[in-house]
Amino acid sequence: METETVTADPFGDGWVNPMNNPGAANAAIGQALATATAGSPMPDIPAHHTSGHVDLVGGFFDGEGQLVRHATVRELTGEHEERIAKARQSRNSARMLATLLECGVERLGDQEATPKLLRKLLIGDRDQLILEIRRATYGNELEFPAAECPHCNGKVDLELTLDDIPTRHLDTPEDRNFTVPLRRGRVANVRLPIGEDQEALLELSGNNASLAEQNTLLLSRTVKSFTEPDGSETQAAGIPAMVRERLSMPDRAAILKALNDRRPGPRYDELSFTHDACGEEVELPVTVSDLFLGL
């Protein structure tokens, strides 16, 4: 069995994010609760939330090899709304995500946030920037009126904040590269995925590729090489055959699990609350559509 590596639905329309691993049950619960948000009023926009400083969870290296770990986001305007809506009409998730980031991210470090630079960011940084664009535009509150508890079927008016979404930071910049021990003494040398990888995956999932095919693409991009038991190194980056034909299913699963465990950024799929009436913990994975009501 391949590890289950999918499926949050950030745009609520069948879009699958191979980076997330909430499990099908969570996703279904999220779907049920998310539908409760349709028709809810737009939250009040605090006047001071026009642009914001962001400390990136991972950061990136600039042209001089210096680590840059801050960015600035801006409040989305009507012009941005039109651009994002147009991108959404194309039903191209990669384009939609890119447009949202291009509209909302002002600067990355001291540089202008160009599309090229945004594609080089870790997916965790991109997810965090989306969260901060949301904060700058609509504020911190997340409302789920009349959400249904899947344990007792009771209704609850939920008020959470963006700060309730668990977030993981990279301890050191070097943590973007790591090793995964495999069977028979092999070791995989792996890097965390970036925006370019995300776009390639979205492209593939938009073409109805199977989960296994998506995993092959993710692995072929993020596994840089293998260290063999005799210490020699076999190159793997960009060679799909290396992760399709020369890697066992348990080894593939081990690398996919490490990629998921180590991903920095907000864990949109790990939001939960305790339902006071029945005392049960309810998982409430949020989607980009939940964050930007109506977009």
The residues in 274-293 that bind Zn ion, with binding defined as CB under 5 A, are 275, 278
Shortest Å distance, C-beta 26 to Zn ion: 16
Which residue lies nearer to Zn ion by CB, 249 or 278?
278
Strand pairing report for 51-61 and 141-148:
unpaired
The residues in 144-163 that bind Zn ion, with binding defined as CB under 5 A, are 149, 151-152, 154
* Rounded distance between C-alpha atoms, residue 287 and residue 293, angstroms: 10
- Cβ distance 58 to 126 under 8 Å? no
Residues whose CB is less than 8 angstroms from the CB of residue 180 and which lie 6 or more positions away in sequence, other chains included = 187, 188, 190, 254, 255, 258
Shortest Å distance, C-beta 153 to Zn ion: 8
Shortest Å distance, C-beta 286 to Zn ion: 19
Shortest Å distance, C-beta 280 to Zn ion: 5
Which residue lies nearer to Zn ion by CB, 108 or 147?
147
Which residue lies nearer to Zn ion by CB, 153 or 232?
153
Distances (CA, A) of 193 to 73, 116, 197, 198, 264: 22, 15, 6, 7, 11
Shortest Å distance, C-beta 154 to Zn ion: 5
H/E segment holding residue 195: helix 195-206
The residues in 256-275 that bind Zn ion, with binding defined as CB under 5 A, are 275
Which residue lies nearer to Zn ion by CB, 151 or 244?
151
- Cβ distance 32 to 150 under 8 Å? yes
Q: End-to-end CA distance of the chain, in Å?
A: 36
* Rounded distance between C-alpha atoms, residue 187 and residue 250, angstroms: 13
Which residue lies nearer to Zn ion by CB, 26 or 215?
26
Give the total of residues touching Zn ion (CB under 5 A).
6
Which residue lies nearer to Zn ion by CB, 154 or 206?
154
Q: Which residues would be at the binding site for Zn ion (CB under 5 A)? A: 149, 151-152, 154, 275, 278
